[in-house]
Structure 1
Amino acid sequence: MAMIETSTQAYQRDRRVVIAGIVLISLLSWVYLFVIAAPGPVDHTSAHAGMHPAMAAWDGGLLALSIVMWSVMMIAMMLPTATPMVLSFTRLQHQREARSKAIRLTGWFSAGYLGTWIVFSLMAAFAQWALYSSNLMTSVMGSATPLLAGTLLVTAGLFQWSDMKEACLSKCRSPLNFLLNEWRPGSSGALIMGLRHGIFCVGCCWVLMLLMFVGGVMNLAWMAAITIYVLLEKILP
């Protein structure tokens, strides 16, 4: 006779599924970034819009590729940092008697969260196009002038000590408090909660993302460093 699954067992099973999903999506995103950042066989740069040396002739296709690049980059960097919040959401779904829907609702929550970063990616891609068209960026998408790099670094430093930064970061550091205060039932509720969490996350991290224009948009080490920094900001007191 099969054993009846307890609530704890059900949660642990779903927790493993959620973690596996986060790891898989994040890993695939990083693999994509590694592939497009790899030097090309002819011009020693990627043929992707993020690194192509002839970006002055941007058209709709290259802009679309840049949006895809930024979107995947944000998923690779920001999905892992949301792991504590996503797992807390799954746990609360189990505690609120939504066990059979926990995975699906967690998917909606995650989609809302990533949706805000995709919107940010649209703006970042247009900013990249504008900076390159103004000759303020190099062919490998780093700052072409010390003034731009310095301005971005100073802006990021000042923002780190701002009230807005602290207000948004406080929403990300305490997953349980955020979820209890923002709780909404059903799929639409999960999506809205994810969107709101994403808005707060973008609010506290958007300046850090602009530092990609300093180190180089496709600088993988720079991406990893910012990802680790954001994660530590969220989990450390």
Structure 2
Amino acid sequence: MTGRPVTVRGGAGPAGLLLVAAAAAWLWLVTRRDGMPAMPGTMGLGLPAFLVVWTLMTAAMMLPATAPVAALYARTITAHRTPRMVVFTMAYLLVWAAAGLPAYGLAAGLGRAAGLPATAATAVAAAVFAVNGVYQLTPLKDRCLAKCRSPVGMMLRYASYPRPSRDLRAGAHHGAFCLGCCWSLMVLLAAFGVMNLWAMAALTAVITAEKLAPAGRLVARGVGIASIALAVAVFWLPALAPGLTAGGASGM
């Protein structure tokens, strides 16, 4: 099942709020980028600071594609819509914040890989590209993407949740599917550079197209094939992975 991308008719207000939150996160990242060290891996940040940056990054990259789902969920709310949507959004972001814990460990490990001899670092970069490429073509990716593209069935599930915890559980549930859909794309930032704003913008466009474009499933498969091609090409052009090869983790 591929599903059709959800539209935002009737929920422009909540969708607009998420887009504003995403824009604010982008503004913070752009204005603070120069104050962050241009280092591979965790950029020299400790775990608390990394989690803050990671959560803002995921808000900037994920909320635009999540806005239509949030708008659809908002249409099921008849009272206290704004505070309930805040809870839904915060629960969604908490899932991504929790994912920052393994992301920190992975970034630390890959950061050390950047200090390896050039051939070894390039092999690690190829592995990163290959992991994303293979995952993009798996049934699990298809399943998670289908839930993100056509979440009407999930709305029926959310309606069965007990009222006191409904918004929290709904946001976390959707966040889990979104994480399942996009985690391998986020891993690519280890190759491109965690705070490479050009890479972040490109991946945001990919994530949004996968979830909202009519041919989103084909976009996902095309990105998977392109990523596998990068896994091969990086041996000839190590600069394709500046976050892991000699070029360093350059930013925008």
| Alignment deviations for residues 96-115 of structure 1 (CA, whole Å, 9 cap, x no partner) | xx2x2222222221111111
Instruction: Tell me what 1:221 maps to.
Output: 198
Asked if structure 1 preserves the Cα contact closer than 8 Å seen for 2:41 and 2:109, the reply is: no
Letter in 2 for 1:147: A
For normalisation by structure 1, the TM-score amounts to 0.77
Letter in 2 for 1:31: L
Asked if structure 2 preserves the Cα contact closer than 8 Å seen for 1:156 and 1:207, the reply is: yes
Q: Residue 147 of structure 1: which of 123, 140, 153 is its match?
A: 123
Instruction: Tell me what 2:180 maps to.
Output: 203
How does 1:22-61 map onto structure 2 within 5 Å?
Answer: 22-38=18-34, 46-48=35-37, 51-52=38-39
Q: 1:114 to 1:187 in 2, by over 3 A?
A: farther
- Is 1:113 the counterpart of 2:92 in the alignment? yes
Instruction: Tell me what 2:59 maps to.
Output: 75
Asked if structure 2 preserves the Cα contact closer than 8 Å seen for 1:29 and 1:72, the reply is: yes
Post-superposition offset of 1:160: 0.8
Unaligned runs of 5+ in 2: 1-8, 215-252
Asked if structure 1 preserves the Cα contact closer than 8 Å seen for 2:40 and 2:193, the reply is: no
Task: Name the % identity.
Answer: 30
Letter in 2 for 1:30: W
Asked if structure 2 preserves the Cα contact closer than 8 Å seen for 1:108 and 1:187, the reply is: no
Letter in 1 for 2:212: I
Q: 1:191 to 1:214 in 2, by over 3 A?
A: same
Asked if structure 1 preserves the Cα contact closer than 8 Å seen for 2:141 and 2:180, the reply is: yes
- Is 1:125 the counterpart of 2:121 in the alignment? no
Q: 1:92 to 1:155 in 2, by over 3 A?
A: same
Letter in 1 for 2:100: S
Instruction: Tell me what 2:140 maps to.
Output: 164
Q: Look at both structures and tell me which one has the larger radius of gyration over its CA atoms.
A: 1
Unaligned runs of 5+ in 1: 1-10, 39-45, 139-143
Asked if structure 1 preserves the Cα contact closer than 8 Å seen for 2:12 and 2:71, the reply is: no
For normalisation by structure 2, the TM-score amounts to 0.72
Instruction: Tell me what 2:239 maps to.
Output: none
Instruction: Tell me what 1:212 maps to.
Output: 189
Letter in 1 for 2:93: L
Post-superposition offset of 1:154: 1.0
Root-mean-square deviation (Å):
2.5
How far apart, in 2, do the equivalents of 1:222 and 1:201 lie? 19
Post-superposition offset of 1:221: 1.0
Asked if structure 2 preserves the Cα contact closer than 8 Å seen for 1:152 and 1:211, the reply is: yes
- In the comparison of the two structures, how many residue pairs are matched? 202
Runs of 4+ in 1 over 4 A off after TM superposition: 52-56
How far apart, in 2, do the equivalents of 1:55 and 1:168 lie? 28
